[in-house]
Amino acid sequence: MSRIYRSKAPLRLGLAGGGTDVPPYSDLYGGAVLNATINMYAYATIIPRTDGKIIFKSLDNGQNLEYDSTDKLEIDGELDILKGIYNRIVKDYTKEPLSFELSTIVDAPPGSGLGTSSTLVVTILGAFAEWLRLPFGEYDMARLAYEIERIDLQMAGGKQDQYAATFGGVNFMEFFNGDKVVVNPLRIRSEYLDELAHNLVLFNTETSRLSSEIIARQSKNIEDKDPASLDASHKLKMQSMMMKDALLRGELDKIGEILDYGWHHKKLLAPGISNPMIDELYQTAIENGASGGKISGAGGGGFIIFYCPNNTRHQVIEAISKFGVAHPYEFTATGLKTWSI
C-alpha cells in the first residue's frame, strides 16, 4: 500500500487592520493586521501513483478531474488552485512530471471571509512538502503560497492569510514597503483568550461573495489616491495597533469599540463591503448588547464577528438568528501541520 501524505492548516479571524495587507497600499505605505487562527481547517491528502495519472478530488464540491501526467497543467477555471500549485512544484523543485491523487476539503465554503483559498494553498503545499521532503521554513512556505495565488494565478487579495495559516496562533503582522513581511506572535494570557473567545461571536450569514471584485475596487481607489479610501486605510492600520495593545494588556472592554471603529472605516475602502442586509444585521446586534463587530475578509457577505461583553452573547445570537447562524469555534495556537502514514 502506498504511503499517504496529509496536511491541515487553520482558517483565521481577521481582528484588525484588514485591507492594509492588500497591494498597492501595503507596498506604498506599509500595512499592519492582527489575526487569530481558529479550529476550522483546510485539509489535503496526497497518494502517489505509478500509472502516469494526476487525479484531483475536491471533496467539498464533488469535483473530480483526471489528467495524464505532464509538466504543466492548463489553467482553465477548473480547480485552478490545485493546478497552479502543481505547476510551480514541478517548475521549481522536481523538474519532472509527477503522478498522484490529491484530495482536498475545507471546513468553510469559498467566499466565507475566513481566508479559505489562501489556507488551501498553504495546506496543499504542505502535503507536497511532506511527500517530496521540500525544505520549507515558515516564511518560505507563506511567501510561496502568496506568489502562487497572487502572481501565478492572478487572484486578487492580500498577504495576511498565507502567513496566518502557516504560523497559526494570534499574530500581529507588519507589511513593509515592498515585499518584506514580519510576523510577530503575541503572547496573550490564556484567561484573556478564553474571555475573547467567549465574548466574540462568529456568525455565518450563509451568503458568500466574490472577494476579488471588492478587492479590485479597493486597490483601484488606492492607486487613484482616493482621499476617503486612503484615510480609511491609515485608520485601519492604526486600529491593528490599538487591538494589539488591548489584547496584550487584557483591556477586553475596549475590543468592541475598536472593532466598531474599524468597521466604520472599512466600509469606506470600496463599494460592496456592506449592504442593506449586513447593515441591518449589524444594527440589530448593537441594539441587543454587542459593542462592536466587523465582517470577516473583504466584505459583502460570509462570516461576521460581534463582540458581546458581559453576558450579552446569548441575547445577541437570539436577536440576529433570523440573519443566519452562530458558528462555534476555539482559537488555535498552531498553524500548518503535515504528516505521513
Domain map (residue ranges) of the chain: 5-187, 190-326
Mean pLDDT of 97-111: 95
Cis? peptide before 24, omega within 30° of 0? yes
CA atoms within 13 A on the CB side of 331: 24
In the block, cell 482558517 appears at 11
Burial of 140 (0-12, 13-18, 19+ CB in 10 A): middle
Which of the residues 21, 80, 107, 161 is marked catalytic? 161
- Predicted confidence band of residue 51 (pLDDT cuts 50, 70, 90): very high
21 has catalytic annotation: no
Q: Measured between alpha carbons, how far is 67 from 45 in angstroms, rounded to an integer?
A: 18
To the nearest whole percent, how much of the chain has pLDDT over 90?
A: 85
- Integer Cα distance of 160 and 215 in angstroms: 14
For the structural domain made of 5-187, what CATH number should be given?
A: 3.30.230.10
- Number of alpha carbons in the 13 Å side-chain half-sphere of residue 324: 23
- Residue partners of 277: CB distance under 8 A and separation at least 6: 205, 207, 323
Answer whether 5-187 and 190-326 agree in fold. Answer: no
Residue 211 has pLDDT above 80, yes or no: no
Q: Answer whether residue 260 shows pLDDT above 90.
A: yes
Q: Are 200 and 306 within 8 A, CB to CB?
A: yes
CB 169 within 8 A of CB 185: yes
pLDDT for residue 1 is more than 70: no
The predicted pLDDT at position 209 comes to: 62
* Residue 22 identity (one-letter amino acid): V
CATH code, 190-326: 3.30.70.890
Kindly indicate the confidence band of residue 269, based on its pLDDT and cuts at 50, 70 and 90. Answer: confident
Q: Cβ(250)–Cβ(214) under 8 Å? A: no
Residue 273's pLDDT is 87
- Mean pLDDT, the chain, rounded, equals 94
Least confident among 4-8, 157-161, 169-173? 157-161
